[in-house]
Structure 1
Amino acid sequence: MGSISTAEQQQMKKPSFPAEANTLEFAKSLDAKDHLRSFREKFFIPSKTNIKSKTLSKPDNNDPSIYFCGNSLGLQPKAVAEYLQVHLNTWATINVHGHFRKLEGSPMIQWQLLAEHAAEQAAPIVGALPSEVGIMGSLTTNLHLLMGSFYTPTASKNKIIMEWKSFPSDHFAIESQIRAHGYDPKESMVMVGPDEGSYELSTEKILSFIDEHASTAALLLLPGIQYYTGQYFDMKTITKYAQDRGLIVGWDLAHAAGNVPVQLHDWNVDFAVWCTYKYMNAGPGSIGGFFVHQRHGKVDYVDDKPIFRPRLSGWYGGDQTGRMAMDNSFRPSPGASGYQVSNPSAVDLASLCAALSVLNQTSMADIRKKSVKLTAYLEYLLLFSSSDNFKIITPSDPDARGTQLSVLLKPGRMDTLMDMLENEGITIDKRKPNVIRVAPVPLYNTYEDVWRFVQIFNQAMAKF
């Protein structure tokens, strides 16, 4: 038997659909068999009236909108209101004692331990040991703090290998870190991109780029999922390849955490950062998360003096047993918590713990199972029309993407499409001039949502 091509292998992994798949009845039949269908009730689904409102309103359950923008901001879990009220009640009743006293009947522990509790809940989502996860700040702040430890350039090795189209916050952070060390970003920021005419950045291209710059690079910093195209990189292969050539490896998981399964510990990743307002659903601007592999979090003592990896230190990175001693002798907590710098917001932690309480009622394996099929169904229906008005630029291979499909429209189509979608109460994300990002989230989106979206999409494309 002849060898199977890469395209054929991808097709074998991808769910297939029958001829009648492009019907509302078929979409509803998929929803009836959905193993995650009960989770939709755990979220507030904005109604069409809600989503169009220009005045403050209360959520209602009438005529739900279609929300495909979880890659920018996830929907609100109903548990958040409960957790925030518990926090407010704690503050109102026992005040400062809330730092140290666990209250019976509360779903949360004392504020002093709340960040570590949130880290324990987040660890399975990113494939980490609980001690390897920290919760603080925001994605860009955490990126700066960790680069303060992991980007240690020299005159001969000061380059940072990054992607050609990084999210602006990452670009600015990297650029400023290089300048702060006295180097020229024009020389030290080296960007790998896809071949001309392509949107997919192959693993082979990345590995060859590592080979080209390994002798002069100090750090490889890439996104787990590329925000613009939705491509999911082969993190395991890339990490090992770069580390074998002497590079520190960091990952920005803003669009990957809670979206696709990752195994940060097993893949030996040095560090990673992520936000919690996208697929973790903790709210706009919610507190960030980070990962530091256990080998970088070790704390040894020689003559009672701690020996540890240098980092930008702060009070909340100190060992909890001596944190209140106030002796100004930094003895870092072992693990990622030793990289924390300040007292985290209990309001943010309450919101995150609420969201994680929902997310951890399932698993990334179960989320991924639906994600692969839901995204494949979206792709199938979009391509069913055979329109030449658009092109899907997200990889077709299920292993190389999450729940997002990025669609490149021909010039002049964007405004008409967005107006029609808004009129129907459908929310998606656009990246001017001509790309839309469609992200059906497994926890709260349905196959019927996908089918109804594509009907409006096709009607808009038919106008040209």
Structure 2
Amino acid sequence: MRFEAHRSLAEAMDRADALGSYRDCFYIPKRQDGSEEIYFCGNSLGLQPKSARNYVDEVLVAWKRMGVRGHFEGDRPWLPYHEFATEKLARLVGALPVEVAAMNSLTVNLHLLMVSFYRPTPERHKILIEEHAFPSDRYAVASQIAFHGFDPDESLIEAKARPGEATLRTEDVLELIEREGDDIALILWPGVQFYTGQAFAMAEIAEIGHRKGCVVGFDLAHAVGNLVLKLHDWNADFAVWCSYKYLNAGPGAVAGCFVHERHAERFDLPRFAGWWGHNKSTRFVMPARFSPLPGAEGWQLSNPPILSLAPLLTSLELFDQVGMDALRAKSESLTGYLETLLKECCEDRITILTPSEPSARGCQLSIRLKGNGGKMPSLGPHPLPLSQGERGGHVPLPLGEGFRVRDDKRGKKVYDALIASGITCDWREPDVIRVAPVPFYNRYTEVFDFVERLKGVIDNER
């Protein structure tokens, strides 16, 4: 059957989609001619919920009418405003309410928690991250290492994919922790790797990390609102995330953090203190001595930005209505359909870096053009073809296609042409187009149309 004949299947899947009506809860960006874009960029900035304006206007009206009294009066007073997000956030990340707080930005929260949970000694001072971690994470951990008087070149361990592979094998990560764990003070690991879209076995990483005496923290920037999370059950020490990607809370939205219940009353832990983390019963007495709140709230610094928190509340209501299990089921179907079409129509022209196994990825597929003519690093001998790992934890690449391609002009031209055609995805240097069909607001027909346009753009470019 020809590819063009398959659109009827996509239309049928849209009609049968139990979550299809939730698309109407979001504003879909439009092109100049008034038609809707195909928006596959929720992994970078989620779309605006239509009810977000009501929540923001509510704050503005309260400010206009009551001034400072808005902190204590009205349906949602500002003094406890962040608490309106707590229970829904806890359900979303698989935590207890005492374990989560909406506060600050992701990297600020990461630093605050590393102050408490990265306690290096001469014998155990290393931090483990993945190679090609998101730059902000790498900068943060390197600066923390240096702050404590150690050398990042010696104390920062980066888990690397095997030569000729784009993604990490779970067994290699676990073996590395087993081998190096006695020297590792902190494992800081992503839920989903931003570049390749690979999702990791967080429960196993936490289990073996703790068995080796390491503190285990997670960066969930690309995992929250994307994967089913069980942070409490996984026994993570801490986690951080942003809220502007899959959580649809708007640009620069208030981030979140998790601190496991077992640390809730560890007031002996060093921390950078601020008055919003102080005991609520005496906060406005303003004593000289800091008395931290139990749980994640005790790591707060300042009163939160209410106008930025408001859209998060409305988005969390939508997540609470649908539930992550239903969203994840649609996500696996939607992304699986995208992968199937890409392989059917473009397999000779592209490489999908993201693992095929649904449990080893979220919404995102990372695509690279084959034969881009870029400058390749030395990868050593190319391995024989490899079978898919138990969890889809690695992706064999065609000969010569390593992780870092320095110059991919063809790929960037294809990306620019997709943007010009009304498709919003994103480009990540040096050579990847990231595509993320989000279950809340994307359709199967959009997946079909994207692949059709990608095929046409590549044909024209060639």
**Counterpart position of 1:336:** 296
Where in structure 1 are there 5+ consecutive unaligned residues?
1-17, 51-61, 104-108, 300-306
Check 1:203–1:22 CA distance in 2 against 1; reply closer, same or farther (3 A cut).
farther
1:368 to 313, 328, 344: 328
2:187 aligned with 1:204: no
Instruction: Report the Cα distance in structure 2 between the residues aligned to 1:181 and 1:423, rounded to whole angstroms.
Output: 48
2:43 aligned with 1:46: no
Deviates more, 1:454-463 or 1:155-164: 454-463
Q: 8 Å contact 2:48–2:248 — kept in the other structure?
A: yes
**Counterpart position of 1:436:** 433
CA shift for structure 1 position 123: 1.3
CA shift for structure 1 position 101: 1.7
Q: Is the partner of 1:155 in helix, strand or coil?
A: coil
Instruction: Report the Cα distance in structure 1 between the residues aligned to 2:4 and 2:10, rounded to whole angstroms.
Output: 7
**Counterpart position of 2:386:** none
Which AA in structure 2 matches 1:33?
A
Q: 8 Å contact 2:368–2:411 — kept in the other structure?
A: no
Q: 8 Å contact 2:120–2:185 — kept in the other structure?
A: yes
Q: 8 Å contact 1:161–1:217 — kept in the other structure?
A: yes
Instruction: Report the Cα distance in structure 2 between the residues aligned to 1:183 and 1:308, rounded to whole angstroms.
Output: 24
Q: 8 Å contact 2:364–2:435 — kept in the other structure?
A: yes
2:239 aligned with 1:272: yes
1:352 to 312, 328, 332: 312
Instruction: Report the Cα distance in structure 1 between the residues aligned to 2:360 and 2:115, rounded to whole angstroms.
Output: 31
Write out per-residue CA displacement over residues 351-392 of structure 1, whole angstroms, 9 at most, x where no aligned residue: 211221222221000000100000000000000015422100
2:73 to 98, 101, 114: 101
**Counterpart position of 1:222:** 189
CA shift for structure 1 position 213: 1.4
CA shift for structure 1 position 308: 4.1
Given the two structures, how large is their TM-score scaled by the length of structure 2? Answer: 0.89
**Counterpart position of 2:20:** 37
**Counterpart position of 1:248:** 215
Instruction: Report the Cα distance in structure 2 between the residues aligned to 1:168 and 1:420, rounded to whole angstroms.
Output: 28
Instruction: Report the Cα distance in structure 1 between the residues aligned to 2:413 and 2:2, rounded to whole angstroms.
Output: 29
Aligned length: 424
Aligned identity (percent) is 46
CA shift for structure 1 position 461: 2.0
CA shift for structure 1 position 22: 5.7
Write out per-residue CA displacement over residues 372-427 of structure 1, whole angstroms, 9 at most, x where no aligned residue: 00000000000001542210010000000000000111314323322321222111
CA shift for structure 1 position 21: 9.2
Q: 8 Å contact 1:408–1:435 — kept in the other structure?
A: yes
Q: 8 Å contact 2:346–2:455 — kept in the other structure?
A: no
Where in structure 2 are there 5+ consecutive unaligned residues?
373-408
**Counterpart position of 2:423:** 426
Which AA in structure 2 matches 1:131?
V
CA shift for structure 1 position 250: 0.3
Write out per-residue CA displacement over residues 327-362 of structure 1, whole angstroms, 9 at most, x where no aligned residue: 122221111111111111111111211221222221
**Counterpart position of 2:402:** none
Instruction: Report the Cα distance in structure 2 between the residues aligned to 1:405 and 1:250, rounded to whole angstroms.
Output: 25
- Map 1:162-173 to 2 at 5 A: 162-173=129-140
Which AA in structure 2 matches 1:433?
P
Deviates more, 1:145-154 or 1:91-100: 91-100
2:265 aligned with 1:298: yes
Which AA in structure 1 matches 2:65?
T
Instruction: Report the Cα distance in structure 1 between the residues aligned to 2:356 and 2:416, rounded to whole angstroms.
Output: 28
2:47 aligned with 1:75: yes
Superposed CA RMSD: 1.5
Q: Is the partner of 2:322 in helix, strand or coil?
A: coil
Write out per-residue CA displacement over residues 267-312 of structure 1, whole angstroms, 9 at most, x where no aligned residue: 000000000000000011111100000111126xxxxxxx443322
Q: Is the partner of 1:48 in helix, strand or coil?
A: coil
1:381 to 319, 337, 341: 341
Given the two structures, how large is their TM-score scaled by the length of structure 1? Answer: 0.89
Write out per-residue CA displacement over residues 60-100 of structure 1, whole angstroms, 9 at most, x where no aligned residue: xx421100011000011111111000000011111111111
Write out per-residue CA displacement over residues 175-232 of structure 1, whole angstroms, 9 at most, x where no aligned residue: 1001100000000001001101001201111111112211111000010100000000
**Counterpart position of 1:56:** none
1:133 to 100, 105, 120: 100
Which AA in structure 2 matches 1:331?
S
Q: Is the partner of 1:261 in helix, strand or coil?
A: coil
Instruction: Report the Cα distance in structure 2 between the residues aligned to 1:29 and 1:241, rounded to whole angstroms.
Output: 45
Q: 8 Å contact 1:416–1:460 — kept in the other structure?
A: no
Q: Is the partner of 1:111 in helix, strand or coil?
A: coil
Deviates more, 1:332-341 or 1:447-456: 332-341
